[in-house]
Structure formats: structure tokens, C-alpha cells
Amino acid sequence: MANEREEYSVGQLAALTGVSVRTLHHYDAIDLLKPAHVAANGYRIYGRPETFRLQEILFYRDIGMPLAEIKEVLDGPADAVVRLTVHLDRLCREAGHTAQVIETLNATIAHLKGERGMTTDELYKPFTEEQQTANEAWLVETYGETMADQIATSKHAIKKLPQGMEGALEELKTIEQDLVAAYEDGTTETSDTLHTLLERHRHFVATMWGQPCSAEGFSGLADMYLSHPDFVARYEKLSLKFSVWLTAAMKAHAKHLGFEA
């Protein structure tokens, strides 16, 4: 509970927020969170603005942002309302992704328990327009504004596909079914058969991108597959632990093509 003057010693602020005194001292030392003033007895005293700043620091720490970057953000030109609105928007998008993953996992568990089968619509749900929009926002946020240009190029290429998006998804379905079969058959990453399958996948990606997919780009795509919850959930629907295997296989294929990470 706030005191009447809303001033806190470092110990009181630590007790209120759960942040250790040692951490608060460190934040002071690196100029991330300075006290409002220092009392005659040498105690650091924090006021209302400092408690709000600490709240923001904790928000950003929760998403794994380094302290140096947090300081840059807080000391930047944007005011607190703008910063918090951006943070809220990010959390809302993540919540949407999390809800999708929960729905996917529930459907997968039901499928594995034999309670119901998986429909094609469910399997390819991440390709709906709504999810694609969310994925595009995630890509731009994660990889920077240059990704927006690449997305635009990809959209233009997809519009020119003679078979349309439905035909492209059918082709992807065939490629993925063959990859799952290779995975479940225990095909090794060095197998010529697997390299042939992954070349089909890489050429499909290039078609969808509207530009060549280099070995480095293919390896980067593998990293993205494993870092985005929607992709992980989708590949786990195809076969248990397939997402990890596919990522390793794609990176091994990129190395086979000459890319060294």
C-alpha cells in the first residue's frame, strides 16, 4: 500500500515490488533508476515517478530486454503513454499467438488420444488471412522494417502464381507429407533422399518469396520455424517432435549447400 507521501526507502521499494535491494542499487549505479533524492542519513528515497519507471523496467525485463536497451527506450523521446501502448500492443499480439497455440495443443492432444481426427482446415489454420496478418506483424517486429519490403515482394509473387494460393498449399502439403514420412522412417540428415526433399522445399520457399532462397536464407527460415509458437505448434500437429527434426534437417541441408553458420 502506498504511503501518504508516496516516498519509499530502497528497502521499502524492494519489499513493495519484489525487486532486491541489491538490484535497485545496481539500477542506480548504471543510471537506469535513480532515486528522487538521498536523505540526510544516506538512504535512497524513491517517489511516484521512480515507482512508475521501475514498473516499466520490470515490464521490459519480463520480455527479456537487456538493461542497456531498456535505458535507451526509457530515456528516448517517446513518453510513457506511447511506450506503454506499444508494449500493450505487443502483449496483445503475443496473447493472440498464445491462444492459437493453446487451441492447437488441445486439438493435437484430442487427436493423439483418439477423441477426434484433425481436419485439413485445422492443420492449415496458420495460413488464414487473420493469422497471416499477425505473422507479418511478428516478422517485422522481430526482423526489422526491411522485412516489410520482403513481405510485399512475397505477396506480389503469390498473386502471380498460376495455381493460386490453394494450389500452392496443396504443393506444400505434399512436400510436408513426404518430409514427415522421411522423419518417421528415421531418415538421417545426410541422406541424399532427404536432401532432394529439402531442395523441393527450398524451391517452394523461393517461389513463395518471389526471389531466390539462398542456403543462408534457408537456415534462417529454420531458426524462425523454431522461434515462432505458431510454426512449432503446426509442425507438432504433423508429427510429434517433427519441428525440432525439420529445423535440424534444414540447417544441415544449408550446410550441405555450403553455408556455414
Q: Give just the sign of the alpha carbon dihedral 176, 259, 190, 227.
A: negative
Cell digits for 82?
Answer: 506511447
Distance CA 174, CA 151 (A): 24
Domains and CATH numbers, the chain: 8-74 (1.10.1660.10), 118-256 (no CATH)
Check pLDDT > 50 for residue 84: yes
What pLDDT digit, counting tens, does each position of 204-257 carry? 988 888 888 899 989 988 888 888 777 888 888 888 889 899 999 999 999 999
98 CA to centre of own chain: 11
| Per-residue pLDDT at 129 | 61
Closest CA to 213 of 259, 166, 160, 163: 259
The fraction of the chain above a pLDDT of 70, given in percent, is 80
- Angle at Cα 121 formed by Cα 196 and Cα 112, nearest 5°? 80
Query: pTM of the full predicted structure?
Result: 0.50
Distance CA 236, CA 104 (A): 9
| Per-residue pLDDT at 162 | 73
What pLDDT digit, counting tens, does each position of 159-194 carry? 777 777 777 888 888 999 999 999 999 998 889 999
Q: What are phi and psi of 119, to 5 degrees?
A: -90, 160
- Angle at Cα 79 formed by Cα 74 and Cα 83, nearest 5°? 65
With both helix axes pointing from N to C terminus, report the angle between 229-238 and 242-256 in degrees, rounded to the nearest 10.
100
Check pLDDT > 50 for residue 198: yes
What pLDDT digit, counting tens, does each position of 24-80 carry? 999 999 999 999 999 988 889 999 999 999 999 998 888 778 888 889 888 888 888
| Per-residue pLDDT at 46 | 94
Local structure of 37: helix, strand or coil: strand
What pLDDT digit, counting tens, does each position of 99-157 carry? 666 665 665 556 555 544 455 455 554 445 666 677 677 667 776 777 677 777 777 77
Q: What are phi and psi of 142, to 5 degrees?
A: -80, -40
